[in-house]
Amino acid sequence: MNRNISILLIVVAFAAGAASVYFLAPPAQRSAVPASASGERKVLYWHDPMVPGPRFDKPGKSPFMDMDLVPVYADAADAAEGPPIITVRPEIVNNLGVRTYKLERSRLPRRTTTHGYLMPVEGNGAYTAQVDIFDRDADWVREGMPARLRIDALPGEIFSGSVASIDPDIGIGARTLKAQVRVATRDPRLKPNMFAEVTIEAPSPTAHLHVPREALIRTGTRTAVVRALGEGRFQPVDVVIGRELGEFIEIRQGLKEGDSVVVSGQFLIDSEASLRATFTRLTPTEPAKDSGAPVTAPKSTESKH
């Protein structure tokens, strides 16, 4: 009995997912209009999204529900050749508050933020901040680079400075380089041992592709974004990321210059695409030859008890 209940719950879950695919699709895709009528997108087959298994080679009424069969297009159906493409109605896009970002190559500055204490220099009112540079930034931080300092005791104030010196060797325990950042201003409010937050920046030597941090979908097994294809069409894409530069993250693989990615509402679209891919894997590979005779799923080989 428990096993039958579990199977029933799985079927209900898939049906709910299929219903969401149906209602996310635009009205044009819910009608049984062949590809030849519009002269645009190629229809692979028709199906009832509430019962996604059977496929039909002609439009018509669903034998399962009181609705028209829905066309499945070549550019959205084959999950084996790439991630599924999801079409979302314009009003749903608006309700979700979907925003996009167009990728361009740019030389975003490298940036690292560290902490340390102020120490007086030669008793002349000058100060340096003793800081640690993590080994991941050791390849680009150099003497003379500009820095900004925020002092905990002086909230809201920003002091200019520069990297005065860097130790040549990385500490074995903390895996950091010791550095001194000289404060450019001799301000009488500065005192020894004040706690300072120090940010060092340098221009990137080469241009890279970047996306806003909020565009990324991170799970335990993948890092992805949702690419906006225009006309309400979206496609999840796995990416390889690089350096994190403030609110932006470098994209090393998966996207190209000129692509647009979704930065708001992408999680729902990605979930819908995962459902669509699941349905595609569960359906037969050949469409029915007669719209009145659906292709049936293979019979279960499970033994009955």
* Residues 233 and 103 grouped into a single domain: yes
Q: How many CB atoms lie within 10 A of CB 96?
A: 16
Domain of residue 174, CATH code? 2.40.30.170
The pLDDT value given to residue 172: 62
DSSP-assigned states of every residue in 211-269: EEGGG-EE-SS-EEEEEEEETTEEEEEE-EEEEEETTEEEEEES--TT-EEEEESHHHH
Q: Name the domain boundary from 176, 202, 228.
A: 202
Give the whole-angstrom CA distance, residue 224 versus residue 226: 7
* Residues 190 and 114 grouped into a single domain: yes
* Residues 39 and 114 grouped into a single domain: no
Q: Which amino acid does the sequence have at 238?
A: D
Percentage of the chain with pLDDT > 70?
A: 67
Res 305 pLDDT > 50: no
Asked whether residue 88 is domain-assigned, the answer is no
Query: In the structure, what pLDDT confidence band is assigned to residue 283 with cuts at 50, 70 and 90?
Result: very low
Helix (H) / strand (E) containing 198: strand 195-202
* Residues 152 and 221 grouped into a single domain: no
* Residues 13 and 147 grouped into a single domain: no
pTM (2 d.p.): 0.50
The pLDDT value given to residue 148: 95
* Residues 26 and 138 grouped into a single domain: no
- Structural domain span for residue 249: 99-107+207-264
Mean pLDDT, residues 218-234 taken together: 85
Between 298 and 58, residue with greater pLDDT: 58
Asked whether residue 92 is domain-assigned, the answer is no
Asked whether residue 179 is domain-assigned, the answer is yes
Between 23 and 101, residue with greater pLDDT: 101
* Residues 154 and 214 grouped into a single domain: no
Mean pLDDT, residues 241-270 taken together: 84
Asked whether residue 197 is domain-assigned, the answer is yes
The pLDDT value given to residue 147: 95
pLDDT in tens, 164-198: 998 877 666 667 788 999 999 889 999 999 999 99
Count structural domains, the chain: 3
Asked whether residue 153 is domain-assigned, the answer is yes
Res 238 pLDDT > 80: yes
Mean pLDDT, residues 9-24 taken together: 44
pLDDT in tens, 25-35: 444 344 333 43
Between 298 and 89, residue with greater pLDDT: 89
Q: How many CA atoms lie within 13 A of 219 on its CB side?
A: 8
Give the whole-angstrom CA distance, residue 47 versus residue 7: 23
pLDDT in tens, 95-136: 778 889 999 888 878 888 999 999 998 778 899 999 998 877
pLDDT in tens, 71-86: 877 665 544 445 667 7
Asked whether residue 277 is domain-assigned, the answer is no
* Residues 123 and 53 grouped into a single domain: no
Between 61 and 89, residue with greater pLDDT: 61
* Residues 224 and 189 grouped into a single domain: no
Mean pLDDT of the chain: 74
Query: In the structure, what pLDDT confidence band is assigned to residue 39 with cuts at 50, 70 and 90?
Result: low
The pLDDT value given to residue 272: 59
* Residues 49 and 192 grouped into a single domain: no
* Residues 214 and 194 grouped into a single domain: no
Between 291 and 208, residue with greater pLDDT: 208
* Residues 114 and 189 grouped into a single domain: yes
